[in-house]
Structure 1
Amino acid sequence: MYELLRDSDGEIGSETLNSSQSSMSSDSCSSFSRLSFDALEIPAKASYSQESFALKPHRSSDYAWEAIRSATFHRKNGLSFRDFKLIRRIGSGDIGSVYLSRLRTHGAGEDGCYYAMKVVDKEALALKKKVERAETEKRILKMLDHPFLPTLYAEFEASHYTCVVMEFCSGGDLHTLRHKQPGKRFSLSSARFYAAEVLVALEYLHMMGIIYRDLKPENVLVRSDGHIMLSDFDLSLCSNAIPAVESPDSSPDPTTTSSLSSTSRARTRSSSSLSCLYNRLFRSRKVRTVSMNRRFVAEPVSARSCSFVGTHEYVAPEVAAGKSHGNAVDWWALGIFIYELIYGRTPFSGETNEATLRNIVKKPLFFPTESPASASEVHARDLISGLLVKDPATRLGSKRGAADVKTHPFFKGLNFALIRSYKPPGIPSLRRVSSCHERLKKSSSSKFDYF
């Protein structure tokens, strides 16, 4: 699979990237580039403020987060590159590389917590006109606070490099793990689990007004506890999401739709407006007395973009056809994602990238076998068919987002609110450890064999 990019002016770039080299994938290199490594050994300019360390609720007992906070409080100018030891490269792209790194802590000897450090070459970034993309990703990372999304631990500059320190996922990515499964595909129960966690992550992103636009197995990483984490947000689109309370059997409130359109045109709301409006809605007498079958919806339905971004096999028909697109592209990508997990391949793949795009626009959806093997597969196919509707206006999720997708029979009996406590699928190659400290104790003997 390859990624294709179109700049904001609408021109398609000639550059392609191998998508199996995701930003924190399990691929590794045997040695560093000595020139690049030495260039980083220059006193770094910290870019910290005390507000950077406001405690993230879902990280309240996280050893890695506390290690960063503790180390920072002992530095007058914040953390720098010298506070980390680079162990080896675990991913690379066209503008930088990702390294497995360890925090050097005073009085801890060789102890320290592992992180993924994304090192971006600012000169290459400027030459390829991708500065805005990199800034968008950093801005998004600072906004996120969710169990299935990355935690930004630190950021600083070293020479002409920008360094971003994030969570390290020892389980690799779902693309690599799928190839280790029998038949190179996941069981229906495993696919259901991963699809549900990705769905919850997309719901949070859309509630924040973020359209992901890069969902694929290579970007779905697996933590040491078996739960997922989405990665790579440089292709994401930031917009506005206006919350509403709707009945599942009715169309959106016309007044809400009107308000959404006018607000979207004005583009004056900040990210804090979401929580403010949420509070106003739920403090109103009308909402307090609402029936239990109503649902909270916060989907960026008005967001539009003409940028041609994504991975060929995962782009939606409206993108492949060169039309503008919005939130519905993520729900199309979710359909492709589930199809690939279950059947081991994507449904519209052609011999060339051009053939793939033609298939996405024109070819009907087919499944490998005529008849599903079980009732669960019947539901899986129905969900995939709803997500892979070529018309974005009628695609499942395009109106109410995750609120509609969650109610599909494929997820029946699944408590999305408690999915973080569900036992993940058993993956023999995955090392599950209770804390970063335990992983450190075993590192000398394991030699990182979970890569």
Structure 2
Amino acid sequence: MRLRNLALLMYLVVFWGLLRNPKYEIIKEFYVDFPCLTSRDKHKMLECERKSESELSSSSECSMTSESRSSFSRLSFELRSSPENLSLKPHRSSDLAYSTIRSATFARKTGLTSRDFQLIRRIGSGDIGTVYLCQLANADEKCCYAMKVVDKEALAMKNKVQRAEMEKKILKMLDHPFLPTLYAEFEASHFSCIVMEYCSGGDLHSLRHKHPQKRFSLSSARFYAAEVLVALEYLHMLGIIYRDLKPENVLVRSDGHIMLSDFDLSLCSDAIAAVESPSSSPDPTPPQNHRSSRPPTTSLSCLFHRFFRSKKIQTLAPNNLFFVAEPVTARSRSFVGTHEYISPEVAAGGSHGNAVDWWSLGIFIYEMIYGGTPFAAPSNEVTLRNIVKRPLTFPTHSPASLLEHHARELISGLLNKDPNTRLGSKRGAADVKTHPFFKGLNFALIRSLTPPEIPGLRRPPTTTSIHHPKIEEQSNAFDYF
């Protein structure tokens, strides 16, 4: 224990020396902004930077909390599920719909209820619920929202209550520009309601069918694939395996950017966080239990191990490092997903992990470019058999351009039937992003790029009676309201 404390003290001395050095910027960037630190720890690190050298030697506030020491090397979705984090979504701070509903929420000490919303029309339905377009009843700003209504009694009969709870749990964790924002949740009789942002552009499945030959151009497919890739990277960083990627679940906002939806089939696990250089080779056999396979390490020792294991740290720039957080140890045997998008390991009835999302990304890109999925058949049974046994083929023998050639290479890597060697299975998005298909694309600035199509702001729909005959014919869910 004495040697450990001495080593920690040496790390602090060296770290302070680096802060005093003009070349410390790279360490500051990755250390202060490292996602697995709590906001309190990040604040303390920034305060440490501002303190003078004399203050640092006498201050005890710059030490990390014991909680973050034990969890620095892994990411858990529980880090974002605390109540203080649920009330603020920084990525929606400039969104009028978000600020409006927050104001309404704070005005009601008991929280929003069904009576605070005015239903307009049904806009979709899924396996566990129906989605309605709605507005705040007494708000000055008539912003549109999507309300998903789940009949808990019906779900209980289908043994799907856990799926609805999983989706709600995940939505509370998310704060990302390409993922949905949970605005409100409440119970109404035997119905459970969640209010999310509304995407006026529909979904990519409907959008693709409006194009010639029902497929996107290569540049459009590249853009949508890149945004989906960034969204998957964030989910995997939180230990969430999506397991339901398909064009129907990729919605288009009014500004043309995408948003993933439907998380009731997702799997929650843990992710191991690391900063690696391109020369770092991923472990071909990930440990079954990463807690027992690694020696106990403090947050500072973890940091210095990452940065000082290379003798070329002085020459490294942020562009030469990769942030890797992939739930490689997650395992499930559930048969979930859409048949044409199911991976071979799921179709064969075996266990699966994070690699299923990268397989789905390959099918997704293939469908956007070629207008259909590669293993589709007249029946689900034949489709699953094709996924397991039939080799991947493309509509034409030769690609028409260099970009299509790169697209085929990427699809082939993602549609590797062996999940252990599939592209993305070890280092996730860090490996997929470097593929030549995405060459020249700045993922950090992708939100500032102009999307291929911009639906634009649509005129708010006229409010209609919630007892519309067509709605009543589909479901009596809103009789309560």
The partner residue of 2:398 within 351, 371, 386 is 371
Larger radius of gyration: 2
Matching residue of 2:138: 105
Q: In structure 1, what is the Cα distance between the partners aligned to 2:301 and 2:134?
A: 41
Query: How far is the alpha carbon of 1:264 from its aligned partner?
Result: 8.3
Task: Compare the two structures and name the one with the higher helix fraction.
Answer: 2
Q: In structure 1, what is the Cα distance between the partners aligned to 2:160 and 2:463?
A: 38
Deviations 1:144-163 (A, max 9, x none): 00000000000000010000
Contact 1:213 1:330 in 2 (8 A): yes
Query: How far is the alpha carbon of 1:252 from its aligned partner?
Result: 2.7
Task: Decide whether aligned partners of structure 1 residues 177 and 141 sit closer, same or farther in structure 2, where only a CA change above 3 A counts.
Answer: same
Q: How does 1:17-416 map to 2 (within 5 A)?
A: 51=84, 54-106=87-139, 108=140, 111-252=141-282, 261-263=289-291, 281=303, 286=308, 289=313, 291-292=316-317, 293-416=320-443
Task: Decide whether aligned partners of structure 1 residues 354 and 50 sit closer, same or farther in structure 2, where only a CA change above 3 A counts.
Answer: closer
Instruction: Give secondary structure in 2 for the equivalent of 1:243.
Output: strand
Task: Decide whether aligned partners of structure 1 residues 350 and 262 sit closer, same or farther in structure 2, where only a CA change above 3 A counts.
Answer: same
Which residue identity is paired with 1:318?
E
Task: Decide whether aligned partners of structure 1 residues 164 and 279 sit closer, same or farther in structure 2, where only a CA change above 3 A counts.
Answer: farther
Which residue identity is paired with 1:305?
S
Query: How far is the alpha carbon of 1:413 from its aligned partner?
Result: 0.1
Query: How far is the alpha carbon of 1:112 from its aligned partner?
Result: 1.9
Query: How far is the alpha carbon of 1:295 from its aligned partner?
Result: 1.5
Query: How far is the alpha carbon of 1:246 from its aligned partner?
Result: 2.3
Task: Decide whether aligned partners of structure 1 residues 409 and 277 sit closer, same or farther in structure 2, where only a CA change above 3 A counts.
Answer: farther
Deviations 1:175-222 (A, max 9, x none): 000000111000000000000000000000000000000000000000
Contact 1:243 1:278 in 2 (8 A): no
Task: Decide whether aligned partners of structure 1 residues 140 and 444 sit closer, same or farther in structure 2, where only a CA change above 3 A counts.
Answer: closer
Task: Decide whether aligned partners of structure 1 residues 285 and 211 sit closer, same or farther in structure 2, where only a CA change above 3 A counts.
Answer: closer
Q: In structure 1, what is the Cα distance between the partners aligned to 2:370 and 2:301?
A: 43
Query: How far is the alpha carbon of 1:245 from its aligned partner?
Result: 2.2
Instruction: Give secondary structure in 1 for the equivalent of 2:270.
Output: coil
Task: Decide whether aligned partners of structure 1 residues 277 and 211 sit closer, same or farther in structure 2, where only a CA change above 3 A counts.
Answer: farther
Deviations 1:297-346 (A, max 9, x none): 10001110000000000000000000000000000000000000000000
Contact 1:243 1:277 in 2 (8 A): no
Query: How far is the alpha carbon of 1:359 from its aligned partner?
Result: 0.2
Deviations 1:109-142 (A, max 9, x none): xx42110000000001111111111111111000
Contact 1:281 1:287 in 2 (8 A): no
Matching residue of 1:269: none
Q: In structure 2, what is the Cα distance between the partners aligned to 1:341 and 1:134?
A: 29
Alignment size in residue pairs: 376
Deviations 1:69-115 (A, max 9, x none): 11111112110000000100011134321000011235x2xx42110
Q: In structure 1, what is the Cα distance between the partners aligned to 2:452 and 2:235?
A: 24
Q: In structure 2, what is the Cα distance between the partners aligned to 1:166 and 1:191?
A: 26
Contact 1:327 1:398 in 2 (8 A): yes
Matching residue of 1:11: none
Which residue identity is paired with 1:443?
P
Which consecutive unaligned segments of at least 5 residues does structure 1 have? Answer: 1-48, 267-272, 434-438
Deviations 1:256-297 (A, max 9, x none): 955x7232899xxxxxx9xx9699537965279373433221
Q: In structure 1, what is the Cα distance between the partners aligned to 2:195 and 2:332?
A: 29
Which residue identity is paired with 1:413?
G
Which residue identity is paired with 1:286?
F
Q: How does 1:2-17 map to 2 (within 5 A)?
A: none
Task: Decide whether aligned partners of structure 1 residues 231 and 282 sit closer, same or farther in structure 2, where only a CA change above 3 A counts.
Answer: farther
Task: Decide whether aligned partners of structure 1 residues 121 and 446 sit closer, same or farther in structure 2, where only a CA change above 3 A counts.
Answer: closer
Q: How large is the Cα RMSD of the aligned pairs?
A: 2.6
Instruction: Give secondary structure in 2 for the equivalent of 1:384.
Output: helix
Which residue identity is paired with 1:198?
V
Instruction: Give secondary structure in 1 for the equivalent of 2:259.
Output: strand
Q: In structure 1, what is the Cα distance between the partners aligned to 2:432 and 2:386?
A: 25
How much identity, in percent, do the aligned residues show? 74
Instruction: Give secondary structure in 2 for the equivalent of 1:307.
Output: coil
Contact 1:53 1:69 in 2 (8 A): no
Q: In structure 1, what is the Cα distance between the partners aligned to 2:441 and 2:300?
A: 26
The TM-score, its normalising length taken from structure 1, stands at 0.78
Instruction: Give secondary structure in 2 for the equivalent of 1:242.
Output: strand
Which consecutive unaligned segments of at least 5 residues does structure 2 have? Answer: 1-81, 465-481
Instruction: Give secondary structure in 1 for the equivalent of 2:289.
Output: helix
Matching residue of 2:5: none
Q: In structure 1, what is the Cα distance between the partners aligned to 2:436 and 2:83?
A: 46
Query: How far is the alpha carbon of 1:53 from its aligned partner?
Result: 5.5
Q: In structure 2, what is the Cα distance between the partners aligned to 1:329 and 1:277?
A: 31
Contact 1:170 1:224 in 2 (8 A): yes
